[in-house]
Homo-oligomer: A and B are copies of this chain.
Amino acid sequence: MSKKIKVEIVEKIFEANNQLAKTNRDILDSAGCYGLNIMASPGAGKTSVILHTIQQLKPAMKIGVIEGDTAPVTIDADKIVEIGCPAIQINTGGDCHLDASMLNAGFQKMPISTLDVLIVENVGNLICPAAFSLGTHANVMISSVPEGDDKPYKYPNIYRNLDVLILNKIDLLPYVDFSLNTFMDGLKLLNPGLIVFQLSCKTSVGVPEWGQWLSAQIRKHFPEKWN
């Protein structure tokens, strides 16, 4: 395949994805449902952060979760259902990211008109999820301390399009070589003004601050619903 044809195919794929992402956003807005796209490396703690987020929002809001997985195991979805939230799994069949069409298909199984918040857990990967907009209201990245402070420099694309970053596992700071300054300098370079929460799912430090901020975002986006 010539390089030109390959570039054209890739551009068409992105164009079609962006179009469908807009449709997804319209569907979410019409339903009054705030959508979050959670991205991270494998093992950064996406599911743990989602479980804590649900506990923060739960008293006031109805939350549903769509789990993106490359394999048909339902480990993450089971954990969400266990704490009483609706969850479905999208099995990408080996693909390394979710795209707007997969989320659109998920809407058929997840009754978003009955929800206030839809949390989408993307496939664990720092590369391709950055290229496929889903149409959610916020792109959230979860980084974790043991991954190292150089990740923004090495995987810059995903950091550029974030609305908020959660630095998880800060309880491990005493045991690993991680310079908060180096990490934050990388974020400033790629995404000046990015909102950052430092938290630990183990000690719950930082969890209330993240929950309060998110709750305020949701209420601000749907003022008629929440005021």
Q: Tell whether A127 pairs with B70 under 8 Å between CB atoms, given A146-B144, A176-B172.
A: yes
Copy number in this complex?
A: 2
For the complex, would chain A's binding face be called helix, strand, loop or mixed by DSSP majority? loop
A124 touches B (CB below 8 Å): yes
Bound-state CA distance A155–B73 (Å) is 9
Bound-state CA distance A119–B145 (Å) is 27
Whether B157 contacts A70 by the Cβ 8 Å rule is yes
Q: How far is the CB of A42 from chain B (nearest CB, A)?
A: 5
The count of residues in chain A whose C-beta lies closer than 8 Å to any C-beta of chain B is: 37
Whether B71 contacts A156 by the Cβ 8 Å rule is yes
Whether B124 contacts A41 by the Cβ 8 Å rule is yes
Q: Mark A85-117, 1 if CB is under 8 A from B, else 0.
A: 000000000111000000000000000000000
List 14 contacting pairs A-B, 8 Å CB cutoff, sorted by A.
A41-B41, A43-B144, A43-B151, A69-B154, A70-B155, A75-B153, A94-B127, A94-B157, A95-B127, A96-B96, A123-B127, A124-B154, A144-B146, A171-B175
In the complex, besides A43-B146, A76-B154, 20 extra interface pairs with C-beta distance below 8 angstroms are: A41-B124, A42-B147, A43-B144, A43-B151, A70-B127, A70-B154, A70-B157, A71-B155, A71-B157, A73-B153, A94-B127, A96-B127, A123-B127, A124-B126, A124-B154, A144-B146, A146-B146, A146-B172, A172-B175, A172-B176
Give chain A's interface residues, CB within 8 Å of chain B. 1, 9, 41-43, 69-71, 73, 75-76, 94-96, 123-128, 131, 144, 146-148, 150-151, 153-157, 169, 171-172, 175-176
